[in-house]
Amino acid sequence: MKVKDLSQPLLSGRMGNLIYYVRNGVQCVRRAEVPGKKRKKERSDQQKGVTGRFAIVQAFYAAYCRQVSRDIWRAAARAEGKMAHNLFNSTNCRCFSGEGKLVDFVNFTFTKGSLLLPRGLKIEQVEGTERRFRVSWQEEREWATATGSDLLQIGVLYDSLPLGPRLAVSVSGRRQDLCGEFTLSERATDGAHVYCFFAREDGSAYSDCQYFRISAIPSHPQHTT
């Protein structure tokens, strides 16, 4: 520690974790940086990843509400006494990376609900078509959570638009029919992630989903369990 000026005892040097110095005749002091310790303003890579993941999940959910439905996750959240966006976040956040990408399509939950999924769900390409597919399943007994009038629904994430959730078009089929069909858009030429689920006819309840991968048109889909 030095005294800068005997007539004005200004300090220059370090004392503990404080550094004293003089600038334009004014005494100044600042904290010394501790080796290996990051400044509070600097976020760690893990903190940045958490923030980035939260942001992309919220953006994805907003797109989901616009393009698919607000009712699906609202119904699921109501049953659990939660907010819809919080339930979506806690259910799916691990499927996103901190860099703003959806990276786990197999475990991604497109829909969540109380209705039952039928057994033996399969997808096959309709012969003679490029983007038309048939879904089939096994017969189930009538339950309060599985009625014959429940509608087949198809959620889609295209490889060319992985953060743009959509519903397939021209979807047909009720639970009692044991089969139904749907059409993918031209985006499916690059491949698509397909999520089959069922909805109550009045839109009051939905089922969980089952994942299928369609690698490219017109290749056959592969079911991932």
The CATH number of the domain where 207 resides is what? 2.60.40
Q: How many domains does the chain have?
A: 3
pLDDT at residue 1, rounded to an integer: 46
Query: What are the tens digits of pLDDT across the range 166-208?
Result: 999 999 999 999 999 999 988 778 899 999 999 999 999 999 9
Residue 188 forms part of a structural domain: yes
Q: Which two tokens stand for residue 21?
A: 């110095």
CA-nearest of 87, 124, 86, 93 to 107 is 93
pLDDT at residue 52, rounded to an integer: 72
- Comparison of pLDDT for 209 and 187, the residue scoring more: 209
Residue 183 forms part of a structural domain: yes
Share of the chain above pLDDT 70, in %: 75
Domain containing 23: what range? 2-31
Chain mean pLDDT for the chain: 85
Q: What phi, psi does 194 have (nearest 5°)? A: -115, 135
Q: Are residues 217 and 129 both part of a single domain?
A: yes
pLDDT at residue 3, rounded to an integer: 43
Residue 163 forms part of a structural domain: yes
Cα 55 off chain centre by? 10
Q: Are residues 80 and 164 both part of a single domain?
A: no
Residue 101 forms part of a structural domain: no
DSSP state of 102: B
Q: Are residues 128 and 217 both part of a single domain?
A: yes
Residue 198 forms part of a structural domain: yes
Query: What are the tens digits of pLDDT across the range 37-82?
Result: 555 556 665 565 566 788 899 999 999 999 999 999 999 999 999 9
Terminal-residue alpha carbon distance, the chain: 70
